[in-house]
Amino acid sequence: MAERKRILIADDDANVRERLEAALSGEYDVSVADSVDAAIDAVRRTRPHLLALDGTIGGGTGAEGGALRLLRLARRARLRLKIIVITPRDDEDLAVSAFELGACDCYRRPVDPDDFAVLARRALRAQELEDAADALPTRLAGVERFESLVGTCPAMRDAFSAARKVASTDVCVMLVGERGTGKELIGRGIHHLGHRCDAPFVTVDPGATPDEFIEAEIFGGGNGTFGGAETVPGRLEQAHRGTLFLHSAERLSPHVQARLHAFVSSRGIERAGRRISVEADVRLIAAAEDDLEARVRAGTFSEDLYYDLGVVTIALPPLRERGEDIAILARDLLERYAEEHGRGIAGYTRSAVRAMMIHDWPGNIPEMENRVRRAVVMSGGRTISASDLGLDGEPELAGRTLGEAKDALEHEIVVDALVRAAGNVSRAARAIGVSRSTVYDLVRKYELDVSSFKALARRGRGARAQNDDPSSPRAGRRRGHGSRPSDIDSAEGGP
């Protein structure tokens, strides 16, 4: 069970504390503080993941103000803590100072608990992704592997476990999953772990072979088949004593389905176009991209063959559903390709990791391999950025002027507000505490198309909306991370 996130609300306004606590307590463990000293004590005791900090707590917003004092302490103590500062509507200097001292966001009064809850979820999700990126080198040492696949998510662990169990047997196995999820790699792993490992592993793909040739390719041909060749062994014969891996089983014609069922029953082959009977001792591992059971019910796939091939069925999730395995696989590929091409690349930027985590990966593992290999070859730096991968990442602020950093942050905030408001400018303006005319000014400044945000909402595709807008956090894939133990007492007494 995932750890509930802890939020500390530090505000000397009792009404704000109560409203935020009511809005957040259903999803998080919430504690409150009404002064800077109480907040420091609560940070020591509860180790919160997120601090909602009143920018005017204790009076004053200048360099000696209570909020900025607490921000300096958190930075000195290197706390793994996200801080959202609640600022007066017209105090731009406080917001700038808060960002410079490490605040992840600023929220202008008046406080809307529902809007603040959205910011809180976003900040906590960002912390999870940063923790995942920081922990990659440590976790990679203990990651589970099967062939060249790596994984830690429950679905992949279950797949690896099932594959190892069936490897020592000769039963037919059905691997189900989208194209590019690693089905052939799992099939090769089963073959290599079994007693047939020294015999051939032969593949055939009905999806890549014209229908008129696939029967002869599987069962062999004669009397003119394949340009007049007298006898051509099929893939089943080539795999004798080994394994035949059948891609895209759902694309087999009814006639070929019937012949495969006959083969499983008799282990005998009659070559297409010529009645020559040949025995073949072959293990069958099949792969399908969709639900064959539904095809059986629809009458488009042989029920007999369905039960022949699916003695054991192993499901592989698409890459987008593998959580932190996305970052782990990406790091594994980076190390492999950097060594292969002799490039001294240290890793990914944090924005690159975030971009990979929210990308939908329609091409699954081959798409990631392509993007990472290209980035390794083309990148001229020590790290791989989101743009190197051809993905939209969160803005990198390091090395920018204050004006450039403010523009990048301003752009991110207004895009996020328009996404959450489904293109409604009035709602977006209320969410970020500005007028409608200000939002229109920002839309013109950054050449945004408001209608595109409305279209995203109509499609109802939250995951794809995040691909178009990397500032919007992707729901799900949660993993609990506690705050790193730090000594805030020593930080308070530091320089």
- Calculate mean pLDDT across residues 98-115: 86
Q: How many CB atoms lie within 10 A of CB 15?
A: 9
* Lowest-pLDDT range of 47-61, 62-76, 125-139, 323-337: 125-139
Q: What is the CA radius of gyration of the chain?
A: 29
At CA 280, angle to CA 279 and CA 281, rounded to 5?
A: 125
Contacts 24+ apart (CB under 8 A), 265-268: 265/308
From 301, 280, 305, 278, select the one nearest 291 (Cα to Cα).
301
What is the Cα–Cα distance from 70 to 176, expressed in whole angstroms?
A: 53
DSSP assignment of 311-354 equals SEEEE---GGGSTTHHHHHHHHHHHHHHHHTT----EE-HHHHH
Q: How much is the mean pLDDT over the chain? A: 79
Q: What is the pLDDT of residue 419?
A: 67
Residue position matching structure tokens 């052939």? 184
Cβ atoms of residues 448 and 420 within 8 Å: no
What does the pLDDT look like over 158-207, one tens digit per residue?
999 899 999 989 899 999 999 999 999 999 999 998 889 889 999 999 88
Cβ atoms of residues 271 and 219 within 8 Å: yes
Q: What is the pLDDT of residue 302?
A: 93
Q: Indicate whether 112 pLDDT > 50.
A: yes
What is the Cα–Cα distance from 98 to 74, expressed in whole angstroms?
A: 12
Helix (H, G, I), strand (E, B) or coil at 367: helix
Q: What is the pLDDT of residue 29?
A: 93
Q: Between β-strands 144-146 and 201-204, what pairing exists: parallel, antiparallel or unpaired? A: unpaired
Tokens of 256: 């070929």
**288 band by pLDDT with thresholds 50, 70 and 90:** very high
Q: Indicate whether 455 pLDDT > 60.
A: no
Distances (CA, A) of 99 to 124, 228, 280, 402: 17, 76, 70, 11
Q: What is the pLDDT of residue 491?
A: 52
Q: What is the pLDDT of residue 179?
A: 92
- Calculate mean pLDDT across residues 29-34: 93
| Helices first, then strands: H and E counts in the chain | 22, 18
User: For the chain, which domains are there?
Assistant: 1-141 (3.40.50.2300), 154-316 (3.40.50.300), 320-384 (1.10.8.60)
Q: What is the pLDDT of residue 140?
A: 45
- 50 forms beta bridges with 7, 82
Q: Which amino acid is at 422?
A: A
Ranges assigned E (strand) in 349-445: 383-384
**488 band by pLDDT with thresholds 50, 70 and 90:** low
Percent of all residues in the chain with a pLDDT value above 70, rounded to a whole number: 77
Cβ atoms of residues 408 and 445 within 8 Å: no
Q: What is the pLDDT of residue 208?
A: 81
What's the whole-model pTM score?
0.52
Q: What is the pLDDT of residue 201?
A: 94
Distances (CA, A) of 357 to 94, 318, 386: 32, 13, 11
- Calculate mean pLDDT across residues 267-289: 74
b/e 107-121 (16+ beta carbons within 10 angstroms → b)? bbbebeeebbbebbb
Residue position matching structure tokens 């999806």? 207
* Lowest-pLDDT range of 143-147, 247-251, 312-316, 473-477: 473-477
**93 band by pLDDT with thresholds 50, 70 and 90:** confident
Phi/psi for 104 (5° steps) reads: -85, -20
What is the Cα–Cα distance from 423 to 451, expressed in whole angstroms?
A: 7
Q: What is the pLDDT of residue 482?
A: 37
What is the Cα–Cα distance from 417 to 407, expressed in whole angstroms?
A: 15
Q: What is the pLDDT of residue 270?
A: 64
| Ramachandran bin of 262, using left for φ above 0, alpha for ψ from -120 to 50, beta for the remaining angles | alpha
Tokens of 288: 């399908």
Tokens of 243: 């394994």
